Amino acid sequence: MKKNIILYKTIPVDQFERLQQHFNVTAFDNITPENADTFRQALAGADGIIGASYPITANDLTLAPNLKAASTISVGIDQFDIDAMNARKIALMHTPNVLTETTADTIFTLVLCSARRIIEMAEMVKNGQWTKSIGESDYGSNVNGKTIGILGMGRIGYAVAKRAHAGFGMSVLYYNNHQHLDAENLLNARRCDLDTLLAESDFVCVVLPLLPSTEKLIGKNELAKMKSSAFLINGSRGKIIDETALIDALENQVIRGAGLDVFEVEPLPADSKLLKLPNVVALPHIGSATHETRYAMVKCAVDNLIAALNGDLSQNCVNPEVIK
């Protein structure tokens, strides 16, 4: 007999058909206020769930007595109440490998666009304001040969470090719970404490998961420790940075600029002060948003759910130690 699953994200047809081959599928395009109650009612008979961009709370889990596995179409797992899942011995699967290089590309794009004022200069040309050779007021900053500080030397952090070292001759500092020998031996990276990284880096790149220990890790005090010529780059989770403190730092030239793909509230409200600052590059959370990568993420998540509901947690399981 087929197990019952809930799909709560639109996915490519071929991957939807794969799910149908293995399971009885109840599908939602996305969870909205209009269909949230229907979704919660469907949880009563679900053995598995798969989707993204919707918080699965402890209360939701109480409505799903048969739930054995959840598969998120993302590497981040902050949308799930991990403690509640562990208590229920529900496997949580994610997609940690397939988006590494694409997300690193996006983060380094933010480095380049922020330093060279690419968006600002492109808009000047499009608006017909390029009427003479640019002067000093329009100059950007070099990237080549500068120092990049990476908060979080995981897969994506290491991919960013490779680009910085090999492509732009940058010195690499990193702040991480654990030593990364490949980064040190192959990229001449130096592990240091947070204060040292902030003080010495020309570009501070946040590539950390959102955890209680990382929420608002970068606030007023941390921004004040950065160089006034430095740029803050965030390609992980918006809540790691105190957005109010960042706006204040940008308005008062405490730092030179910021490149942001993520925000405390998403989508970013149209009245956000960040959108009024010329020294901010703001993207709509496009870290992994290419056709190839998003398809690979869906396929990986489908593979994960099929494997998990067949008892195989050998790949991409966040909490295998609690499933006994």
Answer yes or no: 266 catalytic.
yes
Omega prior to 12 cis, within 30 of 0: no
Cα gap 280→277, rounded to integer Å:
6
In DSSP notation, 72-127 reads ESSS--TTB-HHHHHHHT-EEE---STTHHHHHHHHHHHHHHHHHTHHHHHHHHHT
Q: Are 20 and 63 in contact (CB under 8 A)?
A: no
Q: Which of 17, 123, 266, 292 is catalytic?
A: 266
Answer yes or no: 136 catalytic.
no
Residue 263, number of CB atoms within 10 A of its CB: 21
Q: Are 79 and 54 in contact (CB under 8 A)?
A: yes
Q: Are 82 and 318 in contact (CB under 8 A)?
A: yes
Helix (H, G, I), strand (E, B) or coil at 25: strand
Cα gap 222→182, rounded to integer Å:
28
Cα gap 97→316, rounded to integer Å:
9
Q: Are 50 and 81 in contact (CB under 8 A)?
A: no
The amino acid that residue 152 corresponds to is G
Q: Are 216 and 241 in contact (CB under 8 A)?
A: yes
Angle between helices 13-22 and 291-308 (to 10 degrees): 0
List, in order, residues 6 or more apart from 128 with CB less than 8 Å away.
none
Answer yes or no: 285 catalytic.
yes
Q: Which of 237, 243, 256, 264 is catalytic?
A: 237
Active site residues: 237, 266, 285
